[in-house]
Chains A and B, each alone.
Chain A
Amino acid sequence: MLRINNLTKRYGDKAAVDNLTLEIGAGEIYGFIGHNGAGKTTTIKSCCGIIGFDEGDIFIDGISIKDTPLECKKKIAYIPDNPDLYDFLSGIKYLNFVADIYSVGKKERNELIKKYADMFELTDSLAENISTYSHGMKQKLAIIAALIHKPKLMILDEPFVGLDPKASHLLKEIMAEICRNGGAIFFSTHVLEVAEKLCSRVAIIKDGKLVVSGRTADVIGNASLEDVFLELEAD
């Protein structure tokens, strides 16, 4: 579903991501772990076509994001770490705006918005302007907006920050459902317990370079993901 081939991204002389290669198959939840400034967000932004890169290529469902970015973007949904949405729109107008951008049919958008807004208990607030929402509500709205075009690949940057326990649980279920339906999830997190429990595969990145990747069970062995991460960080 997502193939990153020898990705290199430099800011000036510094390589934020250095020759990174990863592959995320259909049905996989892939955790992306690393210290602050390791290159996680740069990798994620590159995968979403937000920033360009210097070397390598990224393929979404077999399509190169370098050559045909719009086709790739139709297949993905991105949830940023900070849900800075259009504050001047109401929640429902924002969702309808996103549905228009992804050309979601009338019937489908009505059904999906109702389904997810009810699920995240946001329906009553949809008429309010986003400026009146709390951080958690904005995060929920960003998640609903990401789901209404039924993405094949969800890319999330620190998705659990700001969510209440119930919403976190719902998001995990939705992630699992997407994978059951043949999609894939690629997300960055600092919450190692979540990554350990949720992810079928994990990758650890340090100073822009991939340190380890593979099936979660293989990576951690008999230790915990936290132990493995701290050990690798110490090296």
Chain B
Amino acid sequence: MLKTLLKINLQNLFLTMFSGKSGKEKKKKKSPLIYVLIALLAVYVIATLVASVSLMFSSVANAFGNTDGMEWFYFALAGILVFLLTFVGSVFTTQNLIFKAKDNELLLSMPVPMHYILFSRLSSLIILDLAYALLLGGPLIGVYFYHHGFSASMLALYAVCVILTVILSTAVTTFIGWLVALISTKFKRSNILQTVMSLAFFGVYMVVVMNMQTYIEMLLTRGEEIARAIQKALPAFYYFGIACAYNKLWAVALLAVISFIPFALACILVSKSFIRIATAKKSANKKKYVAKELSAKSAKSALFRKELSGFFSIPMYILNSAFGGLMLVMLSAYIAFSGSTNAIFTMLGTDEEIASLMPIVISAVIGFCSSMCNTGASAISLEGSRINLLRSMPVNSDDFYFAKYAVNFVVGFVPLTVSVILLEIGLRFDLLTILAVYVSSVCFLAVTSFINLTCNMLMPKFSWASEMMIIKQSGAVLAAMLSGMAVTATAFAPAFLATKFISTEIYLLILSAVCIAVCFAFIGYYKTSGKKRFERMSA
């Protein structure tokens, strides 16, 4: 029974990520070119990630790998980073996957032991977290081997320790998920609570990311002091370090104890209150309807409003799909008010030619962040089985796509505008330059919004157990993220060559014109292929 449950959960996870259209319709065979393109994009993103992690931690690996008595420190840091990444990656997913899964009531009605349900759900989460962990843990051990030579036993122990760390992280996220779910049952506006908590976590995460270089410098100068603190306060990661650096099995055993005890406790805690939370109805007082004159709007406007309400109703949708916007505003505010502006100019100012590229660099950063405002990448799939009802109504494909496109555009446009204002405060570009940056960024956002929506149009998935799976793990979202990176590189990389012949402002205006042309091409595509695909959409 447990095997079947595990299989179903993993199958669901896999299908959400890689399967396209759902329903009874026979699937069309995808062109091999699509697979090649996706593979190339994946390689590009993974290579970028590996390269940046390697560069960042190369000095740390070099400094501590050969210091007597401090060899463990690098691995302890690796453990902490893996823990943080998997924690941030799944802290709110856990709550949704455990307590808000659509099949909870069905499974509870069957003679399935509670701990089987929980174990199967947590196991699929651990597998997903392991994939995240590999993205960071892989380059970190690679950097170490590069500096200090390969060791098979070290690699094996490191792999075991990463798995144990992921289990520890899952235990903590399960506990937090349980706590949030418990509070949510008492709270009428639990969405607000979740959004606030998500933003708080996000804020902490951004502070850590933005100050990473400072932290690394601090590690290099005050390494021993920090190591002592870790040894005392975070024994799990100390044992992680000892196990890997000195091949100590007793340290692995202690890490296992530290990981499995909280995991078991979290499972017991959740299983005790699972039924109550998973099947709870909000206890708040009922709001009595007071009749008011209803206003009439166009179908287009009604669909847009419905879409916007949907966006604001799911905290994780806001956090995941507006992540780029949040990051953009925080980065711009940092540049505007932290005084780092001078540092940027000093850095670039040594070479006049490089300094003149500042508007391009800024536009590229805005473009990249805007591309991560990707509500459109899951908006079609989130219709779920409601797509049938909508398709039975006189809704034309243009209005349907417009609503989803417009929400994606607005979600990107607002932070983009705020960030351009903040950047102008910080960087003081002349009027023509800032206008060129703004116009090109808006035009670029118009293109990436189309790309996001197109990814979902090509890979819709209407049957799902949890909205989280669509928002965080679907193939369309992954494809949209990879495409965003690729398109940003394609749009801005040529500037480094082109600006030898034309000014940065002219380059940005040409880019805007190209973006507008691409948008028209997309509109044409949606009126033909998009319409046909809409007519085939059903759950």
Contact = CB atoms under 8 A, between A and B. Distances in A.
Interface residues of A, number: 50
B367 to A, nearest CB: 31
A132 B282 contact: yes
A48 B294 contact: no
A152 to B, nearest CB: 13
A187 interface: no
Given A11-B25, A80-B388, A89 B296 contact: no
Contacts of A100: 296-299, 301-302
A149 to B, nearest CB: 9
A99 interface: yes
Contact of B294 (A50, A71, A82, A99): A99
Interface stretch (B196-204, B330-338, B393-401, B432-440): B393-401
Interface in B282-312: 282, 286-291, 293-299, 301-303, 305-306, 309-310
A126 interface: yes
B391 A124 contact: no
Contacts of B384: 84
A86 B298 CA distance: 19
Interface of A: 11-12, 16, 45, 48-52, 69-71, 73-74, 76, 78, 80, 82, 84-89, 91-93, 96-106, 109-110, 113-114, 123-128, 132, 142
B394 A101 contact: yes
Contacts, number: 110
Contacts of A132: 281-282
A175 to B, nearest CB: 18
A125 B286 contact: yes
Given A50-B538, A84-B384, A86-B310, 8 more contacts: A11-B25, A45-B538, A48-B392, A70-B396, A88-B310, A97-B306, A110-B293, A128-B287
B385 interface: yes
13 contacts: A11-B26, A49-B391, A49-B392, A51-B538, A85-B389, A88-B310, A92-B294, A96-B295, A100-B302, A127-B287, A128-B289, A132-B282, A142-B389
A78 B392 contact: yes
Given A49-B392, A52-B535, A125-B289, A101 B295 contact: no
Contacts of B313: 87-88
Contact of B393 (A71, A88, A98, A106): A98
Contact of A50 (B281, B295, B314, B392): B392
Given A76-B392, A88-B313, A106 B296 contact: yes
B391 A50 contact: yes
Contacts of A71: 394
A127 B290 contact: yes
Given A73-B393, A93-B309, A98-B393, A11 B24 contact: yes
B455 to A, nearest CB: 23
Nearest to A13: B26
Given A85-B386, A100-B298, A92 B289 contact: yes
Contacts of A105: 296
B287 A89 contact: no
A105 B294 CA distance: 10
Interface string B367-401: 00000000000000000111011011111100000
B289 A106 contact: no
Nearest to A96: B294
Interface of B: 24-26, 281-282, 286-291, 293-299, 301-303, 305-306, 309-310, 313-314, 384-386, 388-389, 391-396, 535-536, 538
B242 to A, nearest CB: 50
Contacts of B289: 91-92, 123-128
Given A50-B538, A84-B385, A93-B309, A106 B294 contact: yes
Interface centre among B287, B293, B305, B538, by most chain A C-beta atoms within 10 angstroms, is B287
Nearest to B286: A128
Given A11-B26, A104-B296, A106-B296, A89 B306 contact: yes
A30 to B, nearest CB: 18
A198 B391 CA distance: 28
A71 B287 CA distance: 38
A97 B303 CA distance: 8
A182 B275 CA distance: 50
Contacts of B314: 88
Interface centre among B293, B298, B306, B389, by most chain A C-beta atoms within 10 angstroms, is B389
A101 B302 contact: yes
B173 to A, nearest CB: 25
